Structures are given as structure tokens and as C-alpha cells.
Structure 1
Amino acid sequence: MSRVKDEHLVTIKEKENESVPALRRAVRILDLVGSQQTPPNAAEIARLLDLPRSSTHGLIGVMTELGLLESAAGHASGYRLGPRLLDWAAHVSSRQDLIGAFHHIVGTHPELAPYTVSLSTLDGDEVVYLASRASEKGLGVHYSVGLHLPAVYTATGKAQLSAMDRAAFREWLTLYPLATWPPAPTPHSTITPEEVMEEIRIAQKDGYAIDDGQIHLGVWCFAAAVYDSSGNTVAGLGISQPKPANADEMRDRIGHLTTSVAASLSARLGYRGA
């Protein structure tokens, strides 16, 4: 019975692979065009990749329309990589710059040793974690790279939302109204959407946001927005630890540390302030 099931799964996988031949051909075309010193024309691309001429011409036409390829002037219908790929490359490069700057800043701030330090970016109604450095004392929590969490319950998410101007935040709320927000991940957290909105308002005033056990029970996290050279909010930097007994005394101290480190990261990215 297990063998029949495995064979069935293999068949499904093969059908899934066969359902996107155009995408696979497009990637092969991009690889080929990028490797050629002289821009190849459609006929040469079809011949070199052993593809049907008619479908290759159609696919190249769509790829050119989408900016993945462009006609190379001075060569008979030759093609080179298009400008849209440069846009994608710029996004990848800027994210790598951000992650590299994060690790540099964390490494130059020894006062961060007791804390887990994380970096996330806003992705719709969630945050996705780009980097994390666990506490050197083995305390707190680690945020895996690629982890997605509801933005409205994370300190890094609330920090980024608080950094939006009013028009952008209203637009975000239109896309993700309070009634659609999921419950907090921790079962004992009873925070309401209205209370989260108040936390975002306070974060606008204080310059940092707080997650007080909304993601992990007994753990609080402070976060501040990170800006690039153009003044755009690109991430939230978070500092986490188990909530201490003297929380009231520590609140302002950790808040100021968070905003200071986030400011250092923003400065390294070229931000010079409003």
C-alpha cells in the first residue's frame, strides 16, 4: 500500500513539473542570453536550447514585453537581459546590504550581549525575519530567518507601522482592517485590536514599540524602525529578553538602547535624519 502511495505522489510531482514548462524555458533562455557575448536572436536561442521555434518566438515576445529581455540595437533581432532584472538585482543587493549592516552594528555594540537581537521587514500584514543574533547568555528566544509572524503583535511590526505617515497607515488599515486580525499567538494574551492601535500610537510618540508577551509568554521585545538613505522604512530592529522582575525600571533603558542601535543601523545605511 505504501509503494502505491509513493508512486502516486511521484506521478503528482511529475505532473506539477510538467505544468510550468514555459517558466522553465524562460529561465533557460535568461541563462543562455546572459552567457552569450553576442546577443542571440530568437532562431539562435531556439537552436541552442533545442526548443520549438514558434513557441520560443512567442515566449521571447512576452519576456520582452515584461522587461526580462530587450532587443539589442545593431544586431539583427538579437536579445540581451532586460532592465527588470536589474530592478530585482537591486532589491536583492539592498537586502544583503541591510543584513550585512545589521550584523556589523550588532557586533560593535557589546551592550547587546544579554539580548536576542532581530531584524524583520514588513510583508503585508506580517513581518518576515531577515536576521537574528541569539543572546550570548542563552536567554530569550531566537527568531529563525524566514519566520513570518503577525505584524500587529510583534514589536518590530508595530515599530514599522508606527513609522508610516497617516495616509500610508490608513491605506494599510484598509487592506487589513481590525476585524480581520488574527488572535495573538500566545493563548493567554487577551490584547484587543483597539489596544494594539493604542500601542502603535504610543510607539509613534516614544520612538519604539513593545511586545509584552504577545508572541512568547514571559518574553518582552522592544523595537524601533530602521531607515535607508532615502528615508524609507526598510525594517524593524528588535531587542528581546525574558521580562525581568524590575521591568518598570528597565523599560526606558531598553527603549533608549533600542532606538540608539536602530539609529546606528540607519546611519550605516546612509540615513541622515529627517
Structure 2
Amino acid sequence: MTNIQRLLDIMARLRHPETGCPWDLRQDFASLVPYTLEEAYEVADAAERGDAADLREELGDLLLQVVFHARIAEERGLFTFEDVAGAIADKLIRRHPHVFGDTVFETDTERHAYWESSKAAERREKGKTEQEESTLSGIAPNLPALVAAQKLQKRAARFGFDWPEIGPVFDKVREELDELEAARATSDQSRIQEEIGDLLFVVVNLARHLEVDAESALRNGNRKFVTRFRYIEKQLAAQGKTLDESTLAELDALWDEAKRSLSNGCQS
């Protein structure tokens, strides 16, 4: 028995209506969504940290989510895990005619254009009406906002809706920041929120023009903040103090110390 079949059998037993696990039996497609998203992010974190052992474990957790969804679908007569594997195998072959066929792409641009046209054809085959079909179709609405913004901008840029150079993008960031300051002066919270959204969207555009993945950049920024903040906590603990007992000036001084110390590779 392969490990894949073993996993499928375990999931079938967990979902057995009489002898299965009550928690597993309560789950459906919608209830599993938060777990599926969480596992995908944990895979990303392990991959970015280069932790092979952790990555193997997290990939297993993500695979469990695929098996779980497929089992529920099989119980409802919709599809099986085998159908899922077969569909993605067919898609990979269809989208790589230069590997599995005789097609030759002279440039990455040609290859990418074929990839996008293939995806558009697949959307049409799914029964999208002319009204539903759009240049922006196929971008999942529940993606993380930074990821979605980047995908929307890339899709529009392929059809010429983009700044030809980076200078105007910097100008747009400054313009949106000015509009946010003007909104703040009105104390209109809905307008402030709207302007924050516009500013974040154009910052993602700036990242795209700089060939930086905005989501990865922010995750790295988050990790940097956590590392530096924990340094502050450690230094305060060594002094017998807590965050609550420290002034902002003291915390700022330790933050600057953390920046210097950690950038020099010193973790003490």
C-alpha cells in the first residue's frame, strides 16, 4: 500500500458515519477553509525560512486538507481524490505544450502569453458568460489583499494599463499620501479607510515595478519586527523590567539597539 492510499484510507475511517471522529464528521467545504488557508501560509513560511524538515511536515498538513476536501466531495458523489490528481495532471500537460508536445516558444513572453490564453480558454469552458468574462476574471476574490492587488495590476498591465516607467509610480504614492492626510483632516472615517486602501494599492504597484513581491516583502517586514521586538523584551527582562514599566524613550532606544545589534548578526 502506498502512503497516499494509506492517507486516503485513514481519512475515510475518520469520516465513517458510525465509528469516525465527531469533529471530522462535522466538517464541510466551508468550515475547512480557514484551516486550508492557514496550512498554505505555514508552507510558505517554512519554504521562506529554508527549513526542510518543517517544510515536509507543513506540506503534509496541506495535503491533508486536499484529502479532506476530496473525501467530503466523494461522499457527496461530486469527485474523488483521483479526479483531483487527474485534473491537475491534464492541466499541466495542456499548459506545457513545449514540454509535452512539439510547440516551440522563442521567448518567455510567448510562453507566458500562451499560459494566459490557456487559462482564459479554460474559464470559457467552465461556462462563463460574455458578461462574466473579463480581463480580470479568474483572480480569486478571497486571496490575501496584497496578492490580489498584485495579480490585478499584472493582468491589467499586460493590456497596456500601466505606467511605462517607475517615476510616475513614486509620484502617485506621494499623491495618495497627500489625499490620506486631507481625509484625516475631515475626520471622515469611511473616507480615511478608502484613502488607506488607495495608498496600499499603489504601494503594491510600486513593489511590482521594483520587481518585489509585496506579500513576501510584508511577511519579511513582519518577521523583522517580531525579531526586534523580542530583542527589546529580552533586554528588559535582563534589567528586571517589563514593557509596562518602560517609557517610550527607553523602548525607542532599545529598538535602535536591536536594529544595530541584529543587523550585525549579533543575537544576544
TM-score by length of 1: 0.24
Q: Which has the higher contact order (CA 8 A, sep 6+)?
A: 1
Give the structure with the larger helix fraction: 2
The structure with more strand, counted as a fraction of residues: 1
The two structures have a TM-score, normalised by structure 2, of: 0.25
